[in-house]
Amino acid sequence: MRTKTKALSARRAAAATVALGACLTLAAPAGAASAQPSDPVPTVFFGDSYTADFGIAPPGSDEAPLRQLACLQAKENYPTVATRQLKAQGVSLDVRSDRSCGGALTHHFWSEQKIKLPFPYTAPPQQNALNDGTKLVAGGMGGNTLGFAAILKQCSDRLRGPEGDLLPSEAQDPGDPAERCRDHFERGDGKAWLEGRFERVEDDLDEMLERIGYFAPNAETVLVGYPRIVPEDASKCREPAPGEQERPLADIREDALEFLDEKVQQRLNEVMRRKAKEYGETFVDLYSATGGNTACDGARRGIGGLLENSQYGAAGGRQIPWFVHPNPTGRDLQARHVADAIKKALAT
């Protein structure tokens, strides 16, 4: 495993220095300068609901039960499954912390996250788990910073109603009908808003990757992308999955689905890939790897439908939907590809 030292840019160094004291206080003692292949690798996972694997029951674990329950972090999320798979292959991870949290924006890597549901809770900055002894940092962020929930609600009348109450955010422009979703984002204020969100994603990924390099200078970083939601042939989304009554992506029009795939998901994937390359880090291209396991791939789907019931129970008398998050099939795909990437990264 190679050792890397990265300098934090001058404009961010002051803020990072303030946070350093908290990190040194909370972090575990640093280990040796470099881990041998047979040594457990000190590891920190980070991310949003796609790393936490929202919707897979039960949430919570033994590390920090209250935080992990508030973050709706699955006990068997992909970091847990990938760690187990790697151990079976002779690669042992010493997971110091899994900080992934549902609803996290990229800036919650370095700032507190105020959580309202399922109960009020303040999650500390995810970077607080890092230190000089950290040898592996893995996870993904960016979708919430992009405003994916707002984009989905812009494209769906049903999500704008009571069925979407549990999905954070409002439609980007509630005054513009959902049927105009694609047109809304391809011109005028909607296009300007989306461009601004992509600029924010790029800036925040820069900040996050620089902070990882600063607080964990000896670590390999594995940036994990998002699995594909819409198939290449969006007409596949017209039919419900076996055993389901709802179409996988509810009332979102086919032209809007094509836009979501090409101009939102693909673009976000490329931004993340490019940033990982700029920093010399590993990128896990789940988008390309899961083209046959989208929300519209029936029995093979790795993404739970927009309004399909997740494994969670009822909230306020209503079942909690997947809201297009990985189901157990998708979680297993995440784990396999992440485990493969980690194994390669640690071998370099």
CA-CA distance, 158 to 153, in Å (whole number)?
8
Compare 78 and 18 and report the one with higher pLDDT.
Answer: 78
Instruction: Spot the catalytic one: 325, 327, 330, 337.
Output: 325
Residue by residue, DSSP assigns 169-224 as S--S-TTS-GGGHHHHHHSHHHHHHHHHHHHHHHHHHHHHHHHHHHH-TT-EEEEE
Residue by residue, DSSP assigns 212-280 as HHHH-TT-EEEEE-PPP-S-SSGGGGGSPPTT-SS-TTTT--HHHHHHIIIIIIHHHHHHHHHHHHHTT
CB-CB contact of 53 with 331 (8 Å): yes
> Token match 């029936």: residue?
298
Is 34 annotated in the active site? no
Encode pLDDT of 128-150 as tens digits.
999 999 999 999 999 999 999 99
What pairing do the DSSP bridges indicate for beta strands 136-140 and 121-123? unpaired
pLDDT at 313: 77
Band (pLDDT 50/70/90 cuts) for residue 25 is very low
Dihedral angle computed from the Cα positions of residues 15, 17, 22 and 26, in that order, rounded to the nearest 10 degrees: 120
Band (pLDDT 50/70/90 cuts) for residue 64 is confident
Is 337 annotated in the active site? no
Residue 283 phi, psi dihedral angles, 5° rounding: -120, 135
pLDDT at 5: 40
pLDDT at 290: 98
* Alpha carbons within 13 A on the beta-carbon side of 319: 10
Band (pLDDT 50/70/90 cuts) for residue 118 is confident
User: Which two tokens mark 45?
Assistant: 């996972």
Is 128 annotated in the active site? no
Element (H, E) at 319: strand 318-321
pLDDT at 1: 45
Domain 10-27+44-148+198-347 fold: Rossmann fold (3.40.50)
| Predicted TM-score (pTM) of this structure | 0.89
What pairing do the DSSP bridges indicate for beta strands 136-140 and 220-224? parallel
Q: Is the confidence at residue 3, as pLDDT, over 90?
A: no
Out of 32-36, 131-135, 185-189, 286-290, least confident range: 32-36
pLDDT at 94: 98
Whole-number average pLDDT of the chain: 90
Of 335, 318, 338, 319, residue with least CA distance to 327: 335
* Alpha carbons within 13 A on the beta-carbon side of 52: 26
Amino acid 300 reads R
Compare 10 and 260 and report the one with higher pLDDT.
Answer: 260
Band (pLDDT 50/70/90 cuts) for residue 166 is confident
pLDDT at 117: 84
Is 305 annotated in the active site? no
Domain spans of the chain, in order of start: 10-27+44-148+198-347
pLDDT at 168: 83
What's the gap between Cα 279 and its chain centre? 19
CA-CA distance, 198 to 196, in Å (whole number)?
5
Instruction: Spot the catalytic one: 31, 47, 49, 302.
Output: 49
Instruction: Spot the catalytic one: 102, 103, 142, 190.
Output: 103
Q: How much is the average pLDDT of 210-229?
A: 98
Compare 276 and 38 and report the one with higher pLDDT.
Answer: 276
Instruction: Spot the catalytic one: 144, 156, 218, 327.
Output: 144
Band (pLDDT 50/70/90 cuts) for residue 235 is very high
Amino acid 152 reads L
* Alpha carbons within 13 A on the beta-carbon side of 96: 25
Upstream peptide bond of 79 is cis (omega within 30 degrees of 0) = no
Q: Is the confidence at residue 92, as pLDDT, over 70?
A: yes
pLDDT at 319: 83
Band (pLDDT 50/70/90 cuts) for residue 107 is very high
Percent of the chain with pLDDT over 90: 82
Q: How much is the average pLDDT of 111-134?
A: 96
What pairing do the DSSP bridges indicate for beta strands 220-224 and 282-284? parallel
CB-CB contact of 253 with 165 (8 Å): no
Query: Residue-wise over 315-336: b if at least 16 C-beta within 10 A, else e?
Result: eeeeebbbbbbbbbbbbbbbbe
pLDDT at 317: 66
Out of 20-29, 62-71, 216-225, 321-330, least confident range: 20-29
CA-CA distance, 15 to 77, in Å (whole number)?
32
